[in-house]
Chains A and B, each alone.
Chain A
Amino acid sequence: MCSSRLLALGLWLIAASASAAPAWEALGKPLAANEIASWDIDVRPDGVGLPPGHGSVEEGQVVYDTHCASCHGTFGESTDYLALAGGVGSLGTATPQRTVGSKLDYATTLWDYINRAMPFNRSKALSVNEVYAVTAYVLNLNDILPADAVLDERSLPQVEMPNRKGFTQAHGMMRADGKPDVRNTACMKDCLKTPPQVSSALPAGFTHQLYGELGPHFRQFMVAAPAAAAPTPAALAASNGCLACHAAQQTRVGPAFADVARRYAAVADAPAQLRQKVRAGGSGVWGSALMPPQTTVTDAALDQILGWILAGAAAP
């Protein structure tokens, strides 16, 4: 949730390179104002950056039940993914429960996060008004907003979060031995005395094993998409978010598509059976992990993807 500053820095670099830096000439291209605008989505605590729009708790319940409840639970109580509600007032107690309701200091951050990142398997699929509505609903699940509340770009920054004054910088984040992370004064010149040693607490290759190529997880950001040839089934699987959990040959959160092909090779009505399963979601066939209902992929695309999967999910 702290990416706004990084993004701002990125924009600054782009702007600098666009103005006059001959050494960089071969790199990139000057960005048009609308291209910059499509990246410049950060919303600040005081609401600067919020697009105009509105949504009610009532509308938010519909958005939530359709796009969020399968992972976060009907009341935001899920422990499988992340609880979104509860724990308000528990942070200082022996059993703190950290949710967006109990921990956030600004409601605008909740809007920004949902707008960027949720639903997990289809980020950026919601309209601006839907993000306002579902933000209102999540705040209502936390008893921060009443059931008849409506949010827009003016009222959202006025919402007072329970943990508004609870943030401190005096302690370390996560398990950084209690040391604060950022206590240095900025060095702007000849700063590296010794080369930095970057390391991770995770075993080597962990992220790659779990997710495979990271590229397909991030949608291509395109302002004006060139007229393209009809997408391949593999591309449809990527654009419909299937590759967030599946890969052709490796088991990830969900089974490898090649394994699915092997399992259903002799099943006559496999396409129909799998179409229903993917639409409805579920678990238990391959393990305990849950596939959320895939409601947004079109029938035509799903049929193409399933045909490709059942044929062994060969690379295009």
Chain B
Amino acid sequence: MEFGWTQEEAAHRERVRAVLARVLPPDWEDIARHGPGSDEQTAFSKIFCPALHAEGLLIPHWPKPYGGQDESIWRQFIMAEELWAVGEPRGPQYMNVNWVGPVMFKFGTQAQLETYLPPILAGQAVWCQGFSEPSAGSDLAALRTAATPVEGGYRVNGGKIWTSYAAQADTCFLLARVPAAEGVSSGKAAIVILLVDMKSPGIQVKPIPALVGQGDIHEVFFDDVFVPAENRLGAEGQAWEIINYLLQHERVGIPRYALARRTLDRAVARLKSQGRWDDPVLRDRAGQALMLCEAARMMCYRVVDGKARDLPDDAFGSLARVAVVEAENGVSAFLTEFMPDGLLGGDPMQQAHHQRAIAAGVAAGPAEIQLNLIAQRWLNLPREPRAR
């Protein structure tokens, strides 16, 4: 057991920082303050990702046959920390390298790899994740969007909601349900994954005005949208396995505490410049927020360590998610109480962090679902009887 970085890992972190210092434009904060899904940040991601690729930093963790360097998960995570801390200049494209690619390697056909990987490598691909529906959020398996088998593929009808990046996306990673009559069975087994061209006739995208950053949530309507059979990922009935694989990649992919910590560092610098850092109450509260950030960091490191050492998946990812939600909200609560001016135009980056923080406990599966998973899979408590 040890908690240090190798020289090589420390040098990697320095290199990522140096690249960021060189590649991020002077007005980066203006770009970043609207959030990863904003028009500004999406446009910038198409400049940034190719630049990152030129530095060998876009997909180094991918396997060699797919253009990567089989880099360790720790190096990947170090980079993710640095990128998330500055506001994620990969914009929506972080998804591509974190999970779209890895899911393709494992479950995609040769033709799918040839179609979808080149735009990702070119840093020009924007994906969206069409999972949640108006009546299927936490209970994802209740989704109803229908994929009716037709000659050569499927006809999709239904609607998705809360879909991030949908207005910008080229492709939707869509979950839909094969009708019970046609499907192998109902429930999870009747879900299929379709890789849908967002320019297909019958798709309509509506942004949802929200407290979170721009471009973060949309409604997507599917009206008799034809999806060719070759765009189905995996077999019918395999979707749930693929989703679980995907979520494992997704959940460690975002070191949210890194931005929380950086936001806190900035706040303390501002408090000092305002002559307020002598206040012991304020220091106490800043220290508490700091503890939450560091707790979240250590919990996420434990998840990464499990992957690095190839340990069987346990419920620790859920423990870490809860710690991350607490860190995000702890920092944001501290700032809201002691630096409300930051949300009144005083610090756009404070507001940008706030907007990410308030979604932390909901996006990618609510905190309460994580608590359920901890109770059942970590503490082995008896399940709550299911409602019929």
> Do the two chains belong together in a single complex?
no
